[in-house]
């Protein structure tokens, strides 16, 4: 019952306060002409500049809150890490798992709620915006959104697995994660749908099917006997497909795969260090059996 009441109250707040176009219904028998506020699925795209500025402000304020909290009200003082450089501590974080109260985990909330949900909402808004200004749907835009949606849906289905990843288990909570999840993810990870929302591109159905299949194959890739970090190979294939579906040479669109390549290579090296430190000779044996770190035959 509590969950139902909270859901209904949340919907009432959204219905009353979210901006949108107004329309009138049919006159009542007594002659009254009522106005209604409509849903506006393209609102995010039409007001992107202001929303982007607000996300940046929110990310900075949350980072500042995390920094001050680490000094004044740390959740687990013994898990804090100080570098001796205030700027570095602000950026990389001091607390490992800061919480407000006993249950509100700032890191999991930031990483798994506003950023990923906003990623999906921005994509859907760009689909609506494209349809409103071009009067047709874009197959590329829809396929990119599907690949994004699979990624986000997988996160929520396997959220318990995420608790053992680098983000939660090792990275401390600072600007890197707070601003990164609130601002970087919904703005930079949606560059492809933002581009397609404004500029229609044309590609043959065969090309779209081929690239989409690469994205799905990358997502399903899991042969750990080929590569010590096969999951990262899958991420790179998925990222490539997301960019290639836009069918453009714009560097802005391809920035996503460049960023993911740098990020995942760095994480690969960090994983290697932890694997060696944790498993010792067993890790060395694994490396002999699987010599390729990331891309089989290359590195």
Which pLDDT score is estimated for 65? 94
pLDDT in tens, the chain (299 residues): 889 999 999 999 988 888 888 888 888 888 888 888 888 889 999 999 999 999 999 999 999 999 999 999 999 999 999 998 999 999 999 999 999 988 899 999 998 889 899 999 999 999 999 999 988 888 889 999 999 998 899 889 988 888 888 888 888 999 999 999 999 999 999 999 999 988 888 778 888 888 888 777 766 655 555 677 777 777 788 888 888 888 888 888 898 889 888 888 888 888 777 777 777 776 677 777 777 777 776 66
> Is the entire prediction scored with pTM above 0.85?
no
Per-residue three-class SS string for 178-234: HHHHHHHHHHHCCHHHHHHHHCCCCCCHHHHHHHHHHHHHHHHCCCCCCCCCHHHHH
Which pLDDT score is estimated for 22? 86
The count of C-alpha atoms lying within 13 angstroms of the C-alpha of 72, restricted to the half-sphere facing its C-beta, is 7
CA distances from 229 to 160, 290, 294 (A): 20, 10, 5
CB atoms within 10 A of CB 297: 8
Which pLDDT score is estimated for 297? 66
169's CB contacts (< 8 A; 6+ apart) are: 163
- Give the whole-angstrom CA distance, residue 201 versus residue 188: 20
What are the boundaries of each domain within the chain? 63-199, 203-298
By CB atoms closer than 10 A (0-12, 13-18, 19+), residue 9 is exposed
């Amino acid at each position: 019952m509590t969950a139902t009441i909270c859901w209904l109250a949340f919907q009432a707040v959204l219905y009353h306060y979210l901006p949108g176009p107004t329309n009138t219904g049919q006159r009542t028998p007594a002659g009254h002409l009522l106005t209604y506020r409509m849903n506006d699925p393209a609102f995010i795209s039409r007001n992107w500049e202001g929303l982007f500025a607000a996300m940046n402000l929110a990310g900075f304020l949350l980072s500042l809150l995390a920094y001050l909290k680490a000094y004044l009200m740390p959740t687990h003082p013994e898990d804090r890490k100080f570098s001796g450089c205030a700027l570095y501590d602000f950026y990389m974080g001091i607390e490992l798992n800061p919480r407000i109260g006993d249950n509100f985990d700032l890191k999991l909330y930031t990483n798994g709620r506003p950023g990923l949900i906003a990623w999906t909402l921005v994509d859907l808004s760009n689909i609506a915006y494209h349809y409103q200004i071009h009067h047709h749907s874009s197959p590329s835009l829809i396929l990119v959104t599907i690949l994004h949606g699979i990624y986000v849906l997988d996160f929520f289905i396997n959220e318990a697995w995420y608790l053992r990843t680098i983000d939660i288990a090792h990275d401390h909570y600072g600007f890197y994660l707070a601003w990164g999840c609130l601002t970087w993810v919904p703005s930079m990870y949606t560059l492809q749908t933002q581009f397609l929302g404004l500029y229609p591109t044309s590609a043959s159905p065969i090309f779209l099917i081929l690239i989409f299949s690469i994205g799905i194959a990358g997502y399903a890739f899991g042969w750990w006997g080929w590569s010590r970090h096969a999951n990262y190979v899958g991420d790179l294939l998925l990222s490539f497909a997301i960019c290639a579906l836009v069918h453009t040479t714009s560097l802005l669109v391809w920035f996503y795969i460049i960023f993911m390549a740098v990020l995942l290579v760095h994480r690969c090296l960090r994983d290697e260090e932890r694997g060696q430190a944790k498993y010792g000779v067993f890790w060395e044996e694994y490396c002999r059996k699987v010599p390729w770190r990331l891309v089989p035959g290359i590195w």
